[in-house]
Amino acid sequence: MAGRQIVAFLSDYGLEDEFVGVCHGVMLKIAPDLTIVDLHHNILRQDIRHGAVVLEQSVGYMPDAIHLAVVDPSVGSGRRAVVVRASSGAILVGPDNGLLLPAAERLGGVDSVHELTNEDYLLVPVSNTFQGRDVFAPCSAHLARGVEPAELGPPVDPSTLVLLEIPDAWIHEDHLHAEVLQVDRFGNLQLNLDRSLLEKVGLSDGVELEVRLEGRRLTVAQGSTFSTVASGEFVVVEDSYGHLSLAINNGDAAATLRARAGSTAIVGPNTR
């Protein structure tokens, strides 16, 4: 495999501890010319779905890279560590817990999978609590240098990979039942729906909406930008990934509504 001198790194490690820096060090000892893109290290702790959503949305904007993702609440258990080659040729490294699959599907689907077991490419003894350092980081660096996935361990039947359910919005009469996929640092609530779904229930661009979320019943304008509405008002905008987000112009919708990833939102026409 031709070398890819970039690793795009996502994790829930945060930046308060040394974990990210240690993983950088491990990779650079193996591949000194490596460029590491720190995609995101503030994934909600142990939240596989949050990591999967961010990874899936981001992979298309990365260069020809090894995609390293570590959100691993079952570290040290019987869960497998894997490298996934997508049909596009992209390489993803991480735990077999559903984290990688949405991104692999975005990249054309799963072509092949290998388990990361060859100790020639691991830091041994392997820790039961920090396999980002001992398994995923070194394997990613070796892959970046051109090592073939098959050298890292035996093949895995793709049909045995752990699946992750990311729910779709669904239609009930003239309403949509949606869910918050993630909350960004500005407090915007990204929903699992897009404008095409709104149009299916007659809520074309510009139609005023009623949004019910966390016990609140809101009248919300649709806008092309946050500033479509006055400061402090709610607005539904299409975000940079094509999802609809509930936001407050110059405010924090998540804090105001006490909403979080997984909160249910019912979106329909404003009848008041």
Q: Residue 178 — very low, low, confident or very high, per pLDDT cuts 50/70/90?
A: very high
- 138 in Cβ contact with 117 (< 8 Å): no
Q: How far apart are CA 10 and CA 159, in angstroms?
A: 25
Domains of the chain, each with CATH number or no CATH: 6-160 (3.40.50.10790), 170-269 (2.40.30.90)
> What are the pLDDT digits (tens) for 202-250?
888 778 999 999 999 999 999 999 999 999 999 999 999 999 999 999 9
* Phi, psi of 208, rounded to the nearest 5 degrees: -70, 140
> What are the pLDDT digits (tens) for 4-46?
689 999 999 999 999 999 999 999 999 999 999 999 999 999 9
Mean pLDDT, to the nearest integer, of 61-73?
95
**pLDDT at residue 270, rounded to an integer:** 81
Mean pLDDT, to the nearest integer, of 85-89?
95
Mean pLDDT, to the nearest integer, of 180-187?
96
Q: Residue 3 — very low, low, confident or very high, per pLDDT cuts 50/70/90?
A: low
> What are the pLDDT digits (tens) for 125-135?
999 999 999 99
